Every structure is written in C-alpha cells, then in structure tokens.
Amino acid sequence: MSTIQRSLAIIKPDAVAKGVMGQIITRIEQAGLKILAVRLIHMAHDEAAGFYAVHRERAFFASLCTFMTQGPCLTMVLEGENAIQRWRDLMGATDFRKAAPKTIRADFASSIEANAVHGSDSPESAAIEIPYFFSALEIHPR
C-alpha cells in the first residue's frame, strides 16, 4: 500500500552554525525524499515556544527554546513514501549517543539538546508543524 506522507524537517541552529546544511540536504536527496519547501529563519523565543508547545511542561523546555533561537535554522517540507519514519531513520535517536552509526545525529549532534535536526513524529504532528512555518503557496509538489 502506498502511503505518501509529508514531514516538517528542521536543520537546527547547531548544524547550520557547523556548516553541514549541505551534507544533510544531500542525505535527504540521496534517500529519495523530495524537498517541497525550504526557508532559512531565525526564530524569536515565542516562535520556538509555540513550535515546541507539546514539551512546555518538560524540564528542558526553556533551554530548548533558547537553543532554537541562538541562530538561524533551515526549515523544510519533505515528501515521499513513508516520509515521516524514513526521515526519522535518517536523523537517528534523540540522544546522539544512542543514535545508530551513520545517522545525522550520530555524525553531527553535539548534545541531547543540540542534536542537529528535527522531524515530525506522526502524520498528526506533521499536519500541525508544516503550516506553522509554510503556507500552501510555498509548498511545491512535483
């Protein structure tokens, strides 16, 4: 059964600062995921807090919002067969010390917080996260 999905993806400020945007985009393209939209943004604190609102009760929430606003990040919409899980497989585990070899987090993360990339965790999350950053007119199916 074909399940074409979309995922929000973010190359986080730590990975942008390290200069590995291109290497991460190459992995996305080599995996056969289509990039339908892309924008470099520098989030304000309220924007990061809104994006991560599901985590507002967590002990790391304030620190996470500060981290996400420390510099620009690259937001993207990815599309493909089973795109949500495939992008999370490329990312690796949240804690880079537990991430499988050759995953993006294993290769580029610096800490459990500064872990290089974000991916939607379900179709329901993707349906909230994609319009948080992109209007329909900015998404280019092909």
User: Could you give the residue numbers annotated as active site?
Assistant: 118
47 interacts with, out of Mg ion, ligand IDP, none, CB within 5 to 8 A per kind: none
Chain centre distance of CA 130: 11
Interface residue with ligand IDP, options 76, 86, 115, 129 (CB under 6 A): 115
Q: Which stretch binds ligand IDP (CB under 6 A): 21-29, 37-45, 78-86, 110-118?
A: 110-118
Which residue lies nearest Mg ion, judged by its C-beta? 121
Q: What is the total count of residues that contact ligand IDP (CB under 6 A)?
A: 9
Q: Any contact of residue 113 with ligand IDP (CB under 6 A)?
A: yes
Task: Report whether 39 contacts 140 (CB < 8 A).
Answer: no
| Alpha carbons 58 and 85: distance in angstroms, whole number | 24
Interface residue with ligand IDP, options 11, 15, 37, 64 (CB under 6 A): 64
| Residue matched to tokens 């002990």 | 59
What is the phi/psi pair of residue 73, to 5°? -130, 160
| Alpha carbons 128 and 140: distance in angstroms, whole number | 18
Interface residue with ligand IDP, options 32, 94, 132, 141 (CB under 6 A): 94
Smallest separation, CB 121 to Mg ion (Å):
5
Residue type, 34: K
- In the sheet with 117-119, reading across from the earlier edge strand, the strands are 34-41, 73-81, 4-11, 117-119
Q: Which residues bind Mg ion (CB under 5 A)?
A: 121
Q: Which residues bind ligand IDP (CB under 6 A)?
A: 55, 60, 64, 94, 112-113, 115, 118, 121
